[in-house]
Structure 1
Amino acid sequence: MPYLQTNDSTQLYYRDWGTGTPVLFISAWAFSGAMWEYQMLNLNEHGLRCIAFDRRGHGRSDDPGRGYEIDRLADDLAEMIEQLDLRDLTLVGNSLGCGEVVHYLARHGTSRIARVVLMSGVTPGMIRSAENPQGFPKEASEFAIARMQQDRPLYMTDGAIKYFGLGSTWPGPPLLSSEMVQWAVRLILECSPKATIECFRASAQINFLPDLPACTVPTLVLHGENDQVAPLDLSGRRTARGIPGSKLKTYPGGGHGMFLTHKDRINEDLLTFIQD
């Protein structure tokens, strides 16, 4: 099994397919690298080297019960890039993974990075504040954590409808099969409950706005117009405005889980951007 050991002795599992130009996928909150199955298969068939790792406490990686603050998560990403000696690299983040990407750039720079894709991101910030009046009240995140602590399987299963935009009145998202939804929920429940809750706090409460100017490489922001988890106006549009020269592409009917509901369009846009 391919594992990488961080400088705090945490073993991180990763998938590494192919030998072409590298693309590194950083997963959504509560998902392991397995979530990228359909993107990795497609891009690998087009000659790209596709890599995805399991965040600490996720998937097959160690569950150390610590290290879920954003600095450590960004440093884990840095260690992955450095130990695999990745260069001319495309970083593709999803949801919390977008926060890890921009924080990595702020802490470690862009010398190894060719381009960035931020998909369904929670950047630049989700919690309501004076500079973010559209954000969610802090009490909402604590209520969600309390529900997870009470019945995590129920919370995640109930959330799938909202996450994937199923049942939307918008004309966009194709309905996923029940088997696909069950697979996604199963991936989530395989993650450590400690990691799930601590990373939820990180994704909900951190202000990534100061990190956005560090994204000085070509950047594509992909966001669903019906994202109920990280609404377009709160997240995607503000992220694009905070990164000079970035391109925002919105998906009519797209919810938060576009990596599955809109996988064909996502794959096409990723390939076009990477090969441009």
Structure 2
Amino acid sequence: MNHDPRLATLPGFIRVRDDTALHYRDWGAGAPLVFMSGWTLNADMWHYQSVPLAHAGFRCVAYDRRGHGRSSDPGRGYDYDTLADDLEAVLDALDLSGVTLVGHSFASGEIVRYLSRHGARRVAGIVLLSPASTPCLLKTADNPHGLDASLFAASLDEMLTSFPDWIERRAEAYFEPGTSRAVIQWTADMMLRASLYAAAQLSRVQVSTDFRRELAQIDVPALVLHGDSDASAPLELTGGPTAALLAHGALKVYEGGTHGMYLNQAARVSADIAAFARQCQA
């Protein structure tokens, strides 16, 4: 993880208010799509959407969350409010409006918090791909279908003992059967570039945050894409209930889809994003 403060003055980096430098890519021209990555992943995960969609007439922006990829690791700000403010800083720096926000997994919570904290003045619509933060993960008296806190605590302990082994034990279930070892290694390498401190902090935040009220207040068009074989974020726990809470939400279920649909079903994901974004711009 690069801590060099000079990054904030280099092309391809945006400096936010606490001097954190966020690395971004900006490909193509047209209606803007802003891609937000899953937990411990970075902008590289979106290659197989950004390249074809840039050729299809969209402006594709993707950035590395603080503590992830090429962005700096300030050792602070690993909470949804700060991450939402980082997104606003990116949109402001690039002067983007009429944006379709596309978030994978953990980023579903970032998008929801962004809309509740900053409003929808820049946003035409949202796509939540395999959401894993929403609506509420923990089992509580009013959320009986959530998961026990002990399961999350055990996973975090395992991760902090050896993150490479944590990844390896979950790698095959993340993708569809038959996914090459090269793809799995590419993903593991991406995850291991993230700050372990950031990864642990965000894991805790993800589990403890209840987005149900915020989801119900979202008033922009929303598309939820989720696989029915997602072992990382089961459809019945996350994607289905998320779509049900969105006033203008639609759920599209991919048969056999897993958490890695952005790669295993990349062409279909790209086509669904493009069709939805064009509807939002109409």
TM-score normalised by the chain length of structure 1: 0.94
Gaps of 5+ in 2: 1-10
CA contact (8 A) 1:165 1:227 kept: no
Shift in Å, 1:204: 2.1
For 2:147, the equivalent position in structure 1 comes to 136
CA contact (8 A) 1:29 1:203 kept: no
For 1:42, the equivalent position in structure 2 comes to 52
For 1:78, the equivalent position in structure 2 comes to 88
Aligned partners of 1:110, 1:223: CA distance in 2, in Å?
24
- Name the aligned partner's letter for residue 82 of structure 1: D
- Name the aligned partner's letter for residue 24 of structure 2: Y
Aligned partners of 1:68, 1:244: CA distance in 2, in Å?
29
For 2:195, the equivalent position in structure 1 comes to 192
For 1:172, the equivalent position in structure 2 comes to none
Deviations 1:131-154 (A, max 9, x none): 221111111111111111111101
Aligned match for 1:62, one of 66, 69, 72: 72
Q: Does 1:2 align with 2:9?
A: no
For 1:126, the equivalent position in structure 2 comes to 137
CA RMSD of aligned residues (A): 1.1
Residue pairs, 1:206-245, within 5 angstroms: 206-245=209-248
**SS of residue in 2 equivalent to 1:199:** helix
Shift in Å, 1:165: 4.4
Q: How high is the sequence identity, in percent, across the aligned residues? A: 41
CA contact (8 A) 1:93 1:101 kept: yes
Deviations 1:11-34 (A, max 9, x none): 111011122111000110110111
**SS of residue in 2 equivalent to 1:51:** strand
Deviations 1:140-177 (A, max 9, x none): 111111111111101112111222243xxxxxxxx321
For 1:170, the equivalent position in structure 2 comes to none
Aligned partners of 1:20, 1:150: CA distance in 2, in Å?
45
For 1:107, the equivalent position in structure 2 comes to 117
Aligned partners of 2:48, 2:93: CA distance in 1, in Å?
26
- Name the aligned partner's letter for residue 49 of structure 2: Q
Q: Does 1:97 align with 2:97?
A: no
For 2:172, the equivalent position in structure 1 comes to 161
Q: Does 1:249 align with 2:258?
A: no
Aligned partners of 1:253, 1:239: CA distance in 2, in Å?
20
**SS of residue in 1 equivalent to 2:141:** coil
List 4+ stretches of structure 1 deviating above 6 A.
none
Aligned partners of 2:79, 2:266: CA distance in 1, in Å?
30
Aligned match for 2:180, one of 177, 181, 194: 177
Q: 1:35/1:155 Cα in 2 relative to 1: closer, same or farther (>3 Å)?
A: same
Deviations 1:157-213 (A, max 9, x none): 2111222243xxxxxxxx321111110111001111111111111222211111112
**SS of residue in 1 equivalent to 2:147:** coil
CA contact (8 A) 1:105 1:214 kept: no
Q: Which shifted more, 254-263 or 106-115?
A: 254-263
